[in-house]
Amino acid sequence: MSVDLGGTNFRVCSVHLNGDSTFNLTYNKVAIPRELMLAKTSKELFGFLAKQIELFLKEHHEEHFEAHQRRRKSAKPGEDYETEDIFQLGFTFSFPVQQLGINKGNLIRWTKGFDIPDAIGKDVCALLQQEIDLLHLPVKVAALVNDTVGTLMARSYAAPGKTSTLIGAIFGTGTNGAYVEKITNLQKPVDGQYDKSTGEMVINSEWGSFDNQLNVLPNTPYDKKLDEDSVNPGIQIFEKRVSGMFLGEITRLAVLDLYEKPSLSLFKDVSSSTNNGKAATRVGEGSGLFQQWGLDSSLMSIAAADTTPELSTLRKELESQLQIRSATVEEARAFKDISYAVGRRSARLSAVALGSIVMQSGRLKETKGEPVDIGADGSLVEHYPSFRDMIYEAFNKIDGIGAEGTERIRIGIAKDGSGVGAALIALVAANMEKRGTLDELAALKNKATQKLAGAIPSVGESTTLV
Ligand code: ADP
Ligand code: MG
């Protein structure tokens, strides 16, 4: 099983792997109520998540759920009924954490509009497990997964051919990427025990907070205003120019600025203003144009998709979503152009993040001819028309990638990747736990080896320690 706390939605799913790169997925999706994003205590949010898991089990795994409840009620005190048929749950938690173990990680900071101070520094797996246990659900939080890592896993499972996937990237409410790095390139010390035998490790880049100092990123008056009015000014500066939560808001601020300019006639009734001396507005008072977060990025996708000469779909949506009445073709085109500029900037910046990792990996040079595979998930990359094409276009212009490199980079949509990947990781974690004693032995052996290695200062690479 897995749950995915994205930023906009919460998904609960169970996954059946068919073993041939296909899978069957059952899932429920609910919007996260806005008040829970700013809840007084973390218990309110995590209690809600556990409740959703209960509803999912009752709806899709009723027999299993009921059987567990019966066993629990008839169990004698001290009897271990818990170990039977427990769902191993992968918890996709897409906020920055300090991960301390496969199912343990402390929240570093909230992003994407969340702000629940008492959760900072706490182990989010424990917070969820507590609420699950209060409801007596047959569920164990087995793995903590970032959505980017889940996407990387899911794409690795589902990608065509033998090429191993390099990057898992998210372009949804927020943006971030995880990639496979050579252990020899790691510069940050890594605590704890981990398997070094592959020579590789997955790194969660948290690129959403790249260049918070604004040394190189573009910064328009609209970007500035968006940041100042956000719950976390000065943080997630890259994300605030790229992801779904913010693109609509940048577009809104730009359109509003033009609307408010007396010299321009965007969405204003020019003829009636000359008639009675007052600028009669055609925008309803309660329009989202006047409210923070009032313009959803999905409207930008509608604008980009409408290629009819009259822009009739867009004009209809401007009316129904933003109360902008009887917009002219020219006005709708102005909206479309502004929206496109914001969308294309986002895709170009996305290409910089992806392209730099592709170059860092050395795969364009090392593995000749093979594709460099990227898995991507999130509503923006999935639904914004030509988002991937705009990324490829930008790759072309990057020194070190160029046309030849671009040809080889393949971005595949890993739909619901973060959920599927988390379930995959939960499965691996459960298997590791089953082999627990073996692992302990291996760990002991590892420790002994390290001690020995430490005791012999000039130990050569080829030395075998038994
Ligand atoms: P999550 O981040 O919770 O996993 P999604 O990947 O669905 O969820 O991303 C939700 C974000 O994507 C929201 O910010 C929303 O505004 C944006 N979005 C939803 N639909 C579209 C669309 N058709 N085009 C562009 N952006 C969209
Ligand atoms: Mg997501």
Burial of residue 35 (CB within 10 Å: 0-12, 13-18, 19+) is exposed
Give the per-residue pLDDT at 270.
64
Full pLDDT tens readout for the chain, 466 residues: 999 998 899 999 998 878 787 888 899 999 999 999 999 999 999 999 999 999 999 999 998 888 888 888 887 766 655 556 789 999 999 999 998 888 999 999 999 999 999 999 999 999 999 999 999 999 999 999 999 999 999 999 888 777 889 999 999 999 999 999 999 999 988 876 777 898 999 999 999 999 999 999 999 999 999 999 999 999 999 999 999 999 999 999 999 999 999 899 899 876 654 444 444 568 999 999 999 999 999 999 999 999 999 999 999 999 999 999 999 999 999 999 999 999 999 999 999 999 999 999 999 998 778 899 999 999 999 999 999 999 999 999 999 999 999 999 999 999 888 888 999 899 888 888 777 644 543 554 454 434 333 333 333 332 222 2
Q: 11 has which bridge partners?
A: 4, 29
Spell out where 48-194 has E strands.
87-93, 97-101, 104-107, 139-145, 165-171, 175-182
CA of 270 to the centre of ligand 1 (A): 36
Return the beta strands (E) in 342-433 as ranges. Answer: 372-377, 409-413
Instruction: With beta carbons less than 8 A apart as the criterion, state whether 233 and 227 touch.
Output: yes
Q: Does residue 147 carry a catalytic annotation?
A: yes
Q: Could you tell me how many helices (H) and strands (E) the chain has, helices first?
A: 17, 12
> By alpha-carbon position, which residue is closest to atom 24 of ligand 1?
298
118 is catalytic: no
Q: Which of 2, 14, 42, 94 is catalytic?
A: 94
Element at 366 (helix H, strand E): helix 363-366
Supply the residue whose CA is at minimum distance from atom 22 of ligand 1.
298
Place of tokens 């910064």: 219
> Ligand 1: distance of its center to the CA of 172 in Å?
5
End-to-end CA distance of the chain: 40
* Residues 6+ positions from 208 with CB-CB distance below 8 Å: 111, 174, 175, 176, 236, 238, 239, 242, 243
Residues with CB under 6 A from ligand 1: 6-9, 172-173, 244-245, 248, 296-298, 300-301, 378-380, 383-384
Q: Are 2 and 13 in contact (CB under 8 A)?
A: yes
Residue with CA nearest ligand 1 atom 21: 298
Helix, strand, coil distribution of the chain in percent, nearest 5 = 50, 15, 35
Q: Which residues surround ligand 2, an ion (CB under 5 A)?
A: 6, 172
Helix (H) or strand (E) holding 291: none
Torsion of CA 190, 192, 195, 197, to 10 degrees: 50
Return the best residue to mutate from 5, 8, 242, 383 for the ligand 1 pocket (most ligand atoms within 8 A of CB).
8
pLDDT digits (tens, 9 = 90+) for 286-332: 999 999 999 999 999 999 999 999 999 999 999 999 999 999 999 99
As beta bridge partners, residue 106 has 98, 123
Q: Tell me the three state secondary structure of residue 267.
A: coil
According to the model, what pLDDT value does residue 3 have?
95
